[in-house]
Structure 1
Amino acid sequence: MSTYVAQRNGHSADASELAPLAFAGYAHFTAMQVRGGRIRGLDLHLERLRSASMELFGRALPDDRVRATLRTAIRSGPADLSLTVTVHSPEGEFTVAGTAAEPDLLVRTGPAASGPGGPLALAAIEHERVLPAIKHVGEVAKTYYLRQAAAQGFDDAAFVDRRGRLSEGSIWNLAFWDGTAVVWPEADRLRGTTMAIVQRQLNRLGVPQRAQEITLTDLPALAGAVVMNSWTPGVPVHRISTALLPEAPSFVQLLHHAYQNEPLAAP
C-alpha cells in the first residue's frame, strides 16, 4: 500500500529522530512536484542542494546518495505527490561548525499540489530576506508578512527592497510581461527551480526575456504579472498594492507551455 512518508537518510524517521528538528532553523531545502514518479528540473534541484550545502555546511552530499533517497521516498507513495528535501547538520544551531559531521537528509512527501487559481492581489511590503539566494528554513518573516497582507484584504505579499525594487513574494518568484518579452525583476532574491525551468525553456522556444529593476511606479506600463513556485509556473496577479495589472491569459499560457516542455526525469 502506497503512503506518504517522512524519511531521514533514506529510512523511515520516528518521533525521536524528528523531535530535534522541530526547532531547527539552520537548514535548507528544495520542494518539487512528482508526476508519474518523475521530476521536472531534477538537475536544478540537485544543484540547489549542492550549492546551499557548500555555503551553509562547507560540504555537500553526493548526488547519487540524494537520488537514491528520493527514489526510496517516491516508491513508497502514489505516482503523483509533493516532495520536500531538507538538508541540516546534526551539529544544530548556535554552535561553531565542526568538520566531521555529514549533513542529514530529511525527505517528506504529501499530496500533489497545483497552487491557487488566481488572480491574486499582493500587498507591497518592504522586506529583504537574509541569504536570499538560498532556500533556507526558519523564515518567520514570510509567514508574518503573508498574514499581515491577508489582514489588509490581500491574498499574499510582494517584497520591496530598500531601493524600492520588487524582488519576490512570500513563497513565490515574480514574473512580468511587457507584451513581447518576459521581464524578471532585478533584485536580490531566490532563483526558484520553476523559474529556472521556465527561463531555459523560453530560451529554447525563442521567447524574449530580460531582467529589469521594477518599482511600483513601473507597474502601470506592464501588460501582466504572475507568481510561480514549485506548485505552478504561473498564477495571474491583477493587483500589487494600488497598481492594477491587466489580465494576460496568453502570458500565463506561455509560461505553462514552457514549463510543460521540460522533460520529466527519474531520480
Structure 2
Amino acid sequence: MVTLNGKPVSVEALLPLALTNLGHFTSMRVDESGGIRGLALHLERLVRDCKVIWGADLDTECVRDYVRRAVGGQSRPCVVRVTVYDPKTDMGRPADADEPKILVSVRRAGAMPPAPLRAMSVPYERDLPEVKHVGLLGALRARRTAQLAGYGDALFVGRDGLVSEGGTWNVGFVDQNGTIVWPQAPVLPGVTMALLQQIAEHRIATVTLEQAKGMAAAFATNTSIGVRPLAAIDKAGFPTDHPVLGQLQAAYLLVPGETL
C-alpha cells in the first residue's frame, strides 16, 4: 500500500508528482528487528531538503508515524521510501505549491550486499546534487546507457574530469596504502556514506577517472545495498575480496538500527 499523509493515496493525488516531477525523498532499509540504520540522518535530510525545495518545515514526528504504520504489516527486511511533494503542484504555477505532504511506499529489500557491480563511466552532473530530489531522468538515462553497454550501472564523471558518484549510490575507493578515499566533488551526502565515515578512517580527495581505475579496490554504498564491491570501472577490474571491503561490510552491519 502507498499512503499520503497516512491514508491510501488516490490516482488523482499522485498525478501531479508523476507529471511535474517536483519533490524530494529518502529511502530507508528496515531490518528484521524493525531498526533503521541512520534514521536520524534520514530525517535530517528530509527536513533540510524540504527547506530547499519547498521553503517549509517538516514534522518529523508525522514522518515517523506514517512510516511506522506503513511498515507495520510488512515482511522484513524492507525498504521504505518517504517522498515529500505537494499534490497541488501545477507546471505553470509551481510557486503556488506550498503545502508539501508525505508519501510513503514500501518494497521488499534485496540481499545485502548484492553481487559485485561493474560500472561504466558516464559524463554526467546531477542538478542540485546536494538534494535527494525526484528528478531522476539524467541519472536513469545514464544507468540505461551503461546497462545497454553490458554494465550494471553508471559512474558519473563531471566536466572537470573528476569522479563524483554513481546512479543512486555514493562511491568509495581503497588506495594502494589501504586507506579509504571518498571523492571530493558535488555529490549527494549519502546516509550510509556518513555512517561509514564515522566508523572508519578515511580521507576525502579529488579523484580523476584515471586515478579511480588505479585504486586497489572500489565500492558502492547506499541504504539498500550497504557496502557493495565494484568489480570493474569500464575495463579496469578490481578485486572484490579486498580485506578493507570486508572490514567495512562487517563494521556497517554492527551499526545499531534506530527504532521508529
Q: Which amino acid letter does the alignment assign opposite residue 78 of structure 2?
A: L
Equivalent position to 2:2, from 6, 16, 24? 6
**RMSD of aligned alpha carbons:** 1.8
Partner of 2:180: 182
Q: What number of residue pairs does the alignment pair up?
A: 257
Retained in 2: the 8 A contact 1:33–1:113? no
TM-score, normalising length from structure 1?
0.90
Say whether 1:149 aligns with 2:146: yes
CA 115–141 in structure 1, closer or farther in 2 if over 3 Å, else same: farther
Retained in 2: the 8 A contact 1:83–1:109? yes
For residues 91 and 13 of structure 1, the distance between their equivalents in structure 2, rounded to whole angstroms, comes to 14
Q: Which amino acid letter does the alignment assign opposite residue 201 of structure 1?
A: I
CA apart distance, 1:116: 6.4
Deviates more, 1:225-234 or 1:245-254: 245-254
CA 43–116 in structure 1, closer or farther in 2 if over 3 Å, else same: closer
CA 50–198 in structure 1, closer or farther in 2 if over 3 Å, else same: same
Deviates more, 1:126-135 or 1:139-148: 139-148
Q: How does 1:195-214 map to 2 (within 5 A)?
A: 195-202=193-200, 208-214=201-207
Runs of 4+ in 1 over 6 A off after TM superposition: none
CA apart distance, 1:45: 0.4
Equivalent position to 1:25, from 21, 24, 27? 21
Equivalent position to 1:239, from 232, 245, 255? 232
Deviations 1:100-135 (A, max 9, x none): x32100000111223663322211111000000111
Aligned identity (percent) is 35
For residues 250 and 24 of structure 1, the distance between their equivalents in structure 2, rounded to whole angstroms, comes to 45
Retained in 2: the 8 A contact 1:168–1:174? yes
Deviations 1:65-117 (A, max 9, x none): 11111111121322421100000123315324248x32100000111223663
Deviates more, 1:51-60 or 1:136-145: 136-145
Retained in 1: the 8 A contact 2:143–2:154? yes
Equivalent position to 2:69, from 48, 69, 72? 72
Retained in 2: the 8 A contact 1:201–1:258? yes
Deviations 1:138-158 (A, max 9, x none): 321111111111222212110
Retained in 2: the 8 A contact 1:25–1:93? no
CA 248–134 in structure 1, closer or farther in 2 if over 3 Å, else same: same
Retained in 2: the 8 A contact 1:28–1:88? yes
Retained in 1: the 8 A contact 2:27–2:81? yes
Return 5+ residue gaps in structure 1 as ranges.
203-207
Q: How does 1:40-55 map to 2 (within 5 A)?
A: 40-55=37-52
- The 3-state SS of whatever aligns with 1:38 is coil
Q: Which amino acid letter does the alignment assign opposite residue 233 of structure 2?
A: I
TM-score, normalising length from structure 2?
0.92
- The 3-state SS of whatever aligns with 1:124 is strand
- The 3-state SS of whatever aligns with 1:118 is coil
Deviations 1:2-58 (A, max 9, x none): xxx211001122333333333241100000111122211010000000000000000
Equivalent position to 2:192, from 191, 194, 198? 194
CA 81–224 in structure 1, closer or farther in 2 if over 3 Å, else same: same
CA apart distance, 1:255: 1.8
Say whether 1:229 aligns with 2:227: no
Say whether 1:113 aligns with 2:110: yes
For residues 232 and 254 of structure 1, the distance between their equivalents in structure 2, rounded to whole angstroms, comes to 15
Retained in 2: the 8 A contact 1:219–1:243? no
- The 3-state SS of whatever aligns with 2:36 is strand
Return 5+ residue gaps in structure 2 as ranges.
none
Q: Which amino acid letter does the alignment assign opposite residue 88 of structure 1?
A: Y
Q: How does 1:54-69 map to 2 (within 5 A)?
A: 54-69=51-66
Equivalent position to 2:85, from 82, 85, 88? 88
